[in-house]
Amino acid sequence: MSLSHASRPAAHFMIEAPTPGADYTAVIAGLEAEAVGRYSLRSPASGEVIASVADCGAAQARLAADNAQRGFESWRQTTPFARAALLKAWHSAMLEAKEVLALTMAREMGKPIGEARGEVDYAASFLEWYAEQAKRLDGDILPSQHPDKRLAVLRQPVGPVFAITPWNFPAAMITRKVAPGLAAGCSVIVKPAEQTPVTAILLARLWQQVGGPAEVFQVITAERPAEISDLLIADTRIRKVTFTGSTPVGKHLYAKSAATMKRMSLELGGHAPFLVFDDADIDAAVAEVMASKFRNGGQTCVCTNRVYVQRGIFDSFAKRLAQAVDALSVGQPEEETTQIGPLVSQAGRDKAQSHIDDALAQGARRLTAAREVDGFFVAPTVLADVTEEMRIMQEETFGPVAPLVAFDDEAQAVAAANATPFGLAAYLWTRNLGRAHRVSEALDYGIVGVNDGAPSVPQAPFGGVKDSGIGREGGRYGIDEYLDLKFVSTRLD
């Protein structure tokens, strides 16, 4: 496999954001693959068709698997240093193409443009981090009780990987999987969400434009995922499935993957509690709940979904939060001032609105001003007098609404926070060091933010417990998901 372009400087990249009339093909081994059909991509903000996208089926999935197997056989032979050079070049290319990628995400899924730029930085950070980590795939030499034996442990790539990604972070959910996979020596086929195929296609084009081998990272797009997914999961050459998305789909894929004994990573839904104790810095807690709850319109798996506030500060906290939410600017995703764009779909809008309506019908009180919104927009909302029976306290809302519940003591707050099948992210606000330790240890979650509403960084493990999934992405832990351990015992002559 030639890596001669690996050091080519990121100069000028030939990619474009979707515009009405644009056509996008899947990127299967770099061929502009012929698909069974096409589907129209619509802007969630305007409803307009913004691109036509390849609708792939079984034939393209088979082709992608053939390529991925070939790609793996040569990619695994490359040195980690050569893989690192390509990942670094891809990182630079992504940053150079930031505006195009950000605009693409704003158009595809309605992410406000400022946040979309932030996502490009976050997504690219995984490429850089794993470029470095590729050089640390060291194994172990174990002490032996036999003088004539040498015992070694090697870390080797698992094989071709099938990755399924969601629409809410169209770039970062891809790089968080592909960067460790490629660094480890695996080839990866990504099936992006049907709502955000173009970001994925542009990432694959950038990969190829910096000299990345076409069979090593492929993107297969489809309006309905099941046919492709079933075929790739049944293919014994695919050794790992990594999925980010909803819990029901994750469980379905987990069951299907048993037949071919795939390695699995599942990053699933969340229902994050945010606990504010009466010794907290209230203004800081308000600022962070704004970031944790309202970024991406509340469509983030680690988004705060339930806010528990200690009774003594409840009114003061609620008033300040409602004022901050009333000041949010709701608008078109491409406008610089927009903080809240549309939700991704009619179904997403209906679910979030139904959580608000259900809570109000059962006696919750709206603390924010009413706003006129239409289409897929939902007015950012704060609700008080919320009870645990309301749907908003039971299900992931994925929308810009913060329900507030008062609590009396630490034990009650921890019990309420843990009373859910989910266990992805949780947050707590306190200035008491003992409480910070006690509560963060008692929370049944994979990620805890202590006075921190935005803990995600590329070097840390990201993932959940219980119905929020299995496995971790990010950091030195994340690359282990793409590596098998091989024990080699050698008897000396």
Looking at the chain, how many residues does it have?
Answer: 493
Instruction: Closer to ligand NAD by CB, 267 or 481: give it.
Output: 267
Which of 63, 120, 193, 231 forms a contact with ligand NAD (CB under 6 A)? 193
Helical packing angle, 80-96 and 98-109, nearest 10° = 70
Instruction: Please confirm, yes or no, whether 301 is among the known catalytic residues.
Output: yes
Smallest separation, CB 466 to ligand NAD (Å)? 12
DSSP state of 340: B
User: Applying CB under 6 A, which part among 60-68, 78-86, 262-270, 310-318 lies near ligand NAD?
Assistant: 262-270
Distance of alpha carbon 57 from alpha carbon 77, whole angstroms: 31
Which of 123, 178, 189, 249 forms a contact with ligand NAD (CB under 6 A)? 249
Instruction: Closer to ligand NAD by CB, 92 or 456: give it.
Output: 456
Which of 43, 221, 229, 305 forms a contact with ligand NAD (CB under 6 A)? 229
Smallest separation, CB 286 to ligand NAD (Å)? 24
What mask, x for binding ligand NAD by CB under 6 A, covers residues 143 to 182? ---------------------xxxxxx---x---------
Smallest separation, CB 125 to ligand NAD (Å)? 16
User: Applying CB under 6 A, which part among 11-19, 66-74, 78-86, 225-233 lies near ligand NAD?
Assistant: 225-233
77, 1 contact by CB (below 8 A)? yes
State whether the Cα torsion 175-181-186-190 is positive or negative: negative
Element (H, E) at 42: strand 37-42
**In sequence order, which ranges of 327-460 are alpha helices (DSSP H)?**
346-361, 391-394, 410-418, 433-442
Instruction: Closer to ligand NAD by CB, 215 or 396: give it.
Output: 396
Please tell me which residue in 115, 119, 186, 301 is annotated as part of the active site: 301
Distance of alpha carbon 383 from alpha carbon 404, whole angstroms: 6
Residues 438-477 that bind ligand NAD (CB under 6 A): 464, 469
Instruction: Closer to ligand NAD by CB, 128 or 396: give it.
Output: 396
Smallest separation, CB 191 to ligand NAD (Å)? 6
Which of 71, 245, 453, 475 forms a contact with ligand NAD (CB under 6 A)? 245
Distance of alpha carbon 368 from alpha carbon 370, whole angstroms: 7
Residue 267 contacts ligand NAD per CB under 6 A: yes
Which of 170, 197, 269, 333 forms a contact with ligand NAD (CB under 6 A)? 269
Residue 246 contacts ligand NAD per CB under 6 A: yes
Residue 226 contacts ligand NAD per CB under 6 A: yes
Instruction: Closer to ligand NAD by CB, 165 or 310: give it.
Output: 165
Distance of alpha carbon 188 from alpha carbon 352, whole angstroms: 34
Give the end-to-end CA distance of the chain in Å, rounded to a whole number. Answer: 36
User: Applying CB under 6 A, which part among 70-78, 245-253, 290-298, 311-319 lies near ligand NAD?
Assistant: 245-253
Which of 189, 201, 424, 442 forms a contact with ligand NAD (CB under 6 A)? 424
Instruction: Closer to ligand NAD by CB, 168 or 310: give it.
Output: 168
Backbone angles phi and psi of 420, in degrees to 5: -155, 150
129, 182 contact by CB (below 8 A)? no
Taking CB atoms, the residue at the shortest distance from ligand NAD is: 245
Instruction: Closer to ligand NAD by CB, 10 or 401: give it.
Output: 401
Residues 6+ apart with CB under 8 A from 404: 307, 308, 309, 314, 317, 318, 321, 367, 382, 383, 384, 386
Residue 358 contacts ligand NAD per CB under 6 A: no
Residue 123 contacts ligand NAD per CB under 6 A: no
Smallest separation, CB 469 to ligand NAD (Å)? 6
Distance of alpha carbon 267 from alpha carbon 264, whole angstroms: 10
Instruction: Closer to ligand NAD by CB, 246 or 440: give it.
Output: 246
- Cα separation values, 155 from 128, 237, 461, 476, Å: 21, 19, 19, 13
Instruction: Closer to ligand NAD by CB, 210 or 228: give it.
Output: 228
Please tell me which residue in 267, 334, 410, 473 is annotated as part of the active site: 267
Residues 389-408 that bind ligand NAD (CB under 6 A): 396
Element (H, E) at 403: strand 401-407
Element (H, E) at 479: helix 475-480
265, 253 contact by CB (below 8 A)? no
Residues 297-356 that bind ligand NAD (CB under 6 A): 301
Smallest separation, CB 426 to ligand NAD (Å)? 13
Distance of alpha carbon 451 from alpha carbon 81, whole angstroms: 38
Copy the structure tokens of residue 9.
């400087």
Alpha carbon 241 to its chain centroid, in Å, reads 15
Smallest separation, CB 60 to ligand NAD (Å)? 15
Element (H, E) at 176: helix 172-184
Distance of alpha carbon 410 from alpha carbon 359, whole angstroms: 25
Catalytic residues: 267, 301
In the complex, the residues that contact ligand NAD under the rule CB under 6 A are 164-169, 173, 191, 193-194, 225-226, 229, 244-246, 249, 252-253, 267-270, 301, 396, 424, 464, 469
